[in-house]
Amino acid sequence: MPKHAALLALVAASLLALTACPKCPQGSHEVRTSVVSGKGFTFSLNDQAADTRVESGYDLASDVTYTIVASGSLTTFTTTGEKKTYGPEGRDGSKAGPGAPLPDFPYGALVAFIGSTPYYIGKGGLSGQYPAGHLAFQLNLPPGTAAPPSPTPAPPNTVTANITITLSGERIECVQDDAGPPKPKPTPTPPQWSELYASVFAPGTAGHCLNCHDGTDKKAPKWGATRDANVMYDYFNAQHVFDAPNRSFGSTADSRIIWCNPSAQMPLDQQVANKAACDQVQAWLAAGAHNDAR
């Protein structure tokens, strides 16, 4: 075969390989490793400028494929005092206008900042790989919109928000096929109590239990005076809800947490489903419910 014909055949063959396996080159396969699963954040706006950026305290890596989903609501009081409520997608059919993070996107929509770049989260969420950077959240509002002083009634041209955000991320790699027997899938490592607390129970997360149970909310039983992992652990440990075999803290029938038991009521101010968070709770319980925090 003449030289250029061989070259042509080679190009054709590699094109074929590409179409046959779009993600990983031939002789390799895709492996997904969870880097972060169901990490929760709360975006609430009170007593501050509505264009305040809320830090997540989390840095994204460039080689991880992330998914960010949001639920909850945002209430605006127009300049005439009219009350309107939206989801994280913002006001339907509107544009936030000059000065907002994404001027052409809806008024009040939830925006993620990754580093200094804004991305629309909205209803559908965000999914993909992004340049490495710090993750923060902001509402898509023109500057100067204010959050009302608490307690309400809210004056005109103000916004309140109460949104729950969940972050997951997977590292997707192409790994050489090998002739050996298929390796068993690694079981996800259960979190330590300190990790579980920091990702779903601490202030600023989906649970934020001690925001009320530290004595701040007079109607909520007080677990202790500080918002830390040991206070929460000790309170529930004394109630025996971590104990085998029932481990009722995460039980689908008896848990007080709505993520595991749909008829439960906690966290009282944010009764939204969160399967990923319940999975983490149950994984920790199943691993023996130990406290590594002290």
Residue (37 or 205) nearer to ligand HEC, CB: 205
Which residues is 49 bridged to in the sheet? 146
Member of 77, 112, 267, 282 binding ligand HEC (CB under 6 A):
267
- With contacts defined by CB under 6 A, name the span among 101-109, 133-141, 182-190, 201-209 that binds ligand HEC: 201-209
Closest approach of Cβ 203 to ligand HEC, in Å? 10
- With contacts defined by CB under 6 A, name the span among 12-20, 38-46, 143-151, 208-216 that binds ligand HEC: 208-216
Under the criterion CB under 6 A, does residue 257 sit at the interface with ligand HEC?
Answer: yes
Under the criterion CB under 6 A, does residue 266 sit at the interface with ligand HEC?
Answer: yes
Member of 47, 177, 178, 217 binding ligand HEC (CB under 6 A):
217
Phi-psi group of 90: left, alpha or beta (phi > 0 → left; psi -120 to 50 → alpha; rest → beta): left
Member of 59, 178, 269, 292 binding ligand HEC (CB under 6 A):
269
Member of 68, 193, 197, 208 binding ligand HEC (CB under 6 A):
208
Closest approach of Cβ 278 to ligand HEC, in Å? 11
Window 56 to 95, contacts with ligand HEC (CB under 6 A): none
- Residues in contact with ligand HEC by CB under 6 A are 201, 207-209, 211-213, 217, 219-221, 256-257, 265-269
